[in-house]
Amino acid sequence: MTEEKQISADEIALYDRQIRLWGVAAQTRMSLARVLLIEVGALANEIAKNLVLAGIGSLTVLDDSVVSELDLGAQFFIEQSDVGSNRAEAALPRIQKLNPRVSVKADSSGYREKTKEYYAQFDIVIATELSLDNFISINNICRELKLPFYAGGLVGLYGFIFLDLISHTYTIEREKSNITPKIGPETATRSLVSVAYSKTDSKQSMETVTKNESYKPLSESINSKALSSLRPRQQLRVSPVLPALKAMWQFEKLSGAFKSISPEELVTFTTLVQNCTRDLGLPIGILSDAFLSSYSRSIGAELSPVAAILGGILAQDVLNLLSQKEQPIQNWVIFDGDSSTAAIYCLQ
């Protein structure tokens, strides 16, 4: 993105509350951002709503599927009259209505047809509700182009977000600490780059800390053993949704379809979840029969409240990325509706 554009007085008035939060420069970067959103399901609806209302530059929704009766249950950019129409084109006018200043476009072709040159038009790519192989394929293209990549999906009461920002530098402004920050690595993924000091109008001492966060691609992160180093009590608190998600993608490969698992298939799925739990270095004790039954029946289901939570988290992280302020997520969010938690796991 270039920062040659200056936002107008009308935009300053419209986004006044945001500008007070992160400043004119950050809002300008948002107004220049070109975002690609792949697949227009319930989660994508929430993401699109939040990004367009925040005033990004443009949003392209890419989806070659057709609106079905099932889409009407958890999506708010389509109506009964849209059944049989392309999902991206059906959603376009209602997304655009949220904020006429944002350029919203619909692409009714398939993501599998897109080349590296197509993705190069954008600054951020967000993919939802795809198979693991397709997520990885798009993530790899984004890595080549040095584009931030987000992935997300819903499974009834459960869901996930993954992000690969490759290398992201951001600042945090805070009250000056009594301990002088040390330049250099803070964690395996985070480094402190610089510290600048200032005073507010009320003479309060402040420090602006610049940090850098590095990421791994999905193809590596999905096979991470990072959780095996946790203490036994911490491992028992890890959500079973994480290994179940990995097993779901494996089952999809075996069956050739993304669908709810029948009672006859539950034994196979349970074995996959148990194996994935071991692969992550976690104890089988985090699994229960009730959870496995619930998760297996939920595959392919979209629930509006879960979409709202995960869509809000993902969109806010995109805005943090664009504002270059606040610490980004590193690198998974797992939502577990049974415990009403959205836990962050660093799988590097």
**4 assigned to some structural domain:** no
**Do 161 and 171 fall into the same domain?**
no
pLDDT at 2: 47
**Do 65 and 107 fall into the same domain?**
yes
Q: What is the pLDDT of residues 64-122, one digit of tens each?
A: 999 999 888 889 999 999 999 999 999 999 999 999 999 999 999 999 999 999 999 99
Q: Out of 180, 214, 248, pick the residue that ends a domain.
A: 214
**288 assigned to some structural domain:** yes
pLDDT at 325: 86
**Do 38 and 88 fall into the same domain?**
yes
Q: What is the pLDDT of residues 124-177, one digit of tens each?
A: 999 999 999 999 999 999 999 999 999 999 999 999 999 999 999 999 988 888
The answer to whether the peptide bond before residue 331 is cis (omega within 30 degrees of 0) is yes
**Do 90 and 154 fall into the same domain?**
yes
Query: For the chain, how many structural domains are there in total?
Result: 3
The DSSP symbol for 284 reads G
d(CA 72, CA 155): 17
What distances in angstroms separate CA 242 from CA 48, 74, 87, 131, 342, one per listed residue?
25, 23, 29, 15, 11
**Do 67 and 15 fall into the same domain?**
yes
Average pLDDT for 330-338: 96
Instruction: Please check whether residue 221 is in contact with residue 331, taking contact to mean a CB–CB distance below 8 angstroms.
Output: yes
**Do 144 and 248 fall into the same domain?**
no
**Do 115 and 190 fall into the same domain?**
no
Which CATH number covers residue 31?
A: 3.40.50.720
**2 assigned to some structural domain:** no
Strand-pair partners of 62: 38, 107
Task: Determine the structural domain holding residue 196 and report its residue range.
Answer: 167-214
**3 assigned to some structural domain:** no
Q: How many CB atoms lie within 10 A of CB 126?
A: 27
The DSSP symbol for 329 reads P
Q: What is the pLDDT of residues 260-281, one digit of tens each?
A: 788 888 999 999 999 999 999 9
**Do 257 and 331 fall into the same domain?**
no
d(CA 206, CA 306): 38
pLDDT band of 6, cuts 50, 70, 90: low
Strand-pair partners of 214: 167
Name 184's Cβ contacts closer than 8 Å, sequence gap at least 6: 191, 192
**Do 162 and 172 fall into the same domain?**
no
**Do 191 and 141 fall into the same domain?**
no
